[in-house]
């Protein structure tokens, strides 16, 4: 616990602003994404939109990452590098947006449908979306980190999917990644106890096949070892005494992603 910073009200407000900037950029991605675009087109859009809002795209040059956003298509679990890959009908693609504003980081992602998804693509995407919702529902002062992972693991595995172990959620603030690490598998009543003012992401990566991943030669792109489909959703939040506030909560429905209103979209409330 000593390495986990408890954010002040002023710091939470700064995180809220950065988080809402990232959320708005992600909403705009949903409005423009379509078959025929390349993942590099998405990168150009996110880069320009982030700058237009007064922010800085956090992924660019982060430990050598060459682009301003991560785009992970189909079998890519996370950290996909935008390039010449053309989005095709039936694809699913996770777009992971992180914005720096006034020294604070806002981090959120969603998986989008390109055209009509296959039953498998829809299943893994909707299981991932619901896994995030169930994980968030565990968060409150006095709960434990293991409660989050347990809720996600129980649901996803019960739906015939698997949960990636190799990548986790993370604390967020003046740093992109800071303690605590938030595993998406776990045991209830286990792990660090949550305290009001803790800020972190929950971002379950759910596979339709097995949980194992491989990292490609570019040292970033992680794919499913069995080449099965993978989907991910991510929100950043702050623990409160009564539950939590989702800092990256969206102001309207996410186009080409939400088939039904999300509880973490203000438009749904």
3-state secondary structure of 104: strand
CATH number, domain 9-268, options 3.40.50.300, 3.40.50.2300, 3.90.230.10, 3.10.129.10: 3.90.230.10
If DSSP codes are grouped into helix, strand and coil, which group holds residue 27? helix
Q: Kindly list the domain boundaries of the chain, sorted by start residue.
A: 9-268
Distance CA 147, CA 167 (A): 17
> What gap in Å lies between CA 148 and CA 136, rounded to an integer?
7
Query: In whole angstroms, what is the distance from residue 253 CA to residue 29 CA?
Result: 12
Q: Return d(Cα 227, Cα 208) in angstroms, integer.
A: 10
What is the reported pLDDT for 82? 98
CA atoms within 13 A on the CB side of 174: 8
Residue 31 has what pLDDT?
97
pLDDT tens by residue, 196-213: 999 999 999 999 999 999
Say how far apart CA 162 and CA 155 lie, in whole Å. Answer: 10
**Mean of per-residue pLDDT scores for the chain:** 95
d(CA 245, CA 97): 19
Extended beta strands in 64-103, E state: 70-73, 76-78, 92-101
pLDDT at residue 269, as a whole number: 30
* Residue range 30-83, pLDDT digits in tens: 999 999 999 999 999 999 999 999 999 999 999 999 999 999 999 999 999 999
**pLDDT given at position 261:** 58
Q: Which residues of the chain have pLDDT under 50?
A: 1, 267-269
The C-alpha angle with vertex 234 and arms to 265 and 137, in degrees rounded to 5, equals 65
Among 189, 248, 245, 179, residue whose Cα is nearest residue 6? 179
Q: Give every CB contact of residue 143 below 8 A, 6+ residues apart in sequence.
A: 193, 194
- pLDDT for the residue 259: 67
Q: What's the confidence (pLDDT) of residue 268?
A: 42
């Amino acid at each position: 616990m000593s390495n986990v910073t408890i954010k002040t009200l002023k710091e939470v407000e700064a995180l809220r602003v950065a988080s809402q900037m990232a959320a708005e950029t992600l909403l705009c991605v949903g409005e423009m994404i379509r078959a025929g675009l390349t993942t590099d087109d998405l990168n150009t859009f996110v880069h320009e939109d982030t700058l237009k809002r007064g922010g800085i795209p956090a992924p660019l040059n982060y430990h050598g990452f060459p682009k301003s956003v991560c785009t992970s298509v189909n079998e890519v679990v996370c950290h996909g590098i935008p390039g010449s890959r053309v989005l095709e009908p039936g694809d699913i693609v996770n777009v992971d947006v992180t914005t720096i504003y006034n020294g604070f980081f806002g981090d959120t992602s969603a998986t989008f449908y390109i055209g009509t998804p296959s039953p498998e693509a829809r299943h893994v995407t909707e299981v991932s979306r619901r896994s995030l919702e169930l994980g968030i529902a565990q968060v409150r002062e006095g709960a434990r980190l293991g409660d989050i992972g347990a809720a996600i693991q129980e649901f996803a595995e019960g739906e015939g999917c698997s949960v990636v172990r190799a990548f986790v959620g993370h604390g967020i603030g003046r740093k992109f990644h800071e303690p605590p690490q938030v595993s998406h598998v776990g045991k209830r009543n286990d792990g660090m106890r949550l305290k009001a003012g803790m800020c972190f992401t929950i971002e379950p990566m759910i596979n339709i096949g097995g949980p194992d991943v491989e990292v490609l030669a570019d040292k970033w792109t992680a794919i499913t070892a069995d080449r099965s489909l993978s989907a991910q959703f991510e929100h950043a939040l702050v623990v409160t005494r009564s539950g939590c506030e989702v800092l990256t909560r969206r102001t309207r429905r996410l186009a080409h992603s939400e088939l039904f209103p999300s509880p973490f979209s203000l438009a749904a409330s």
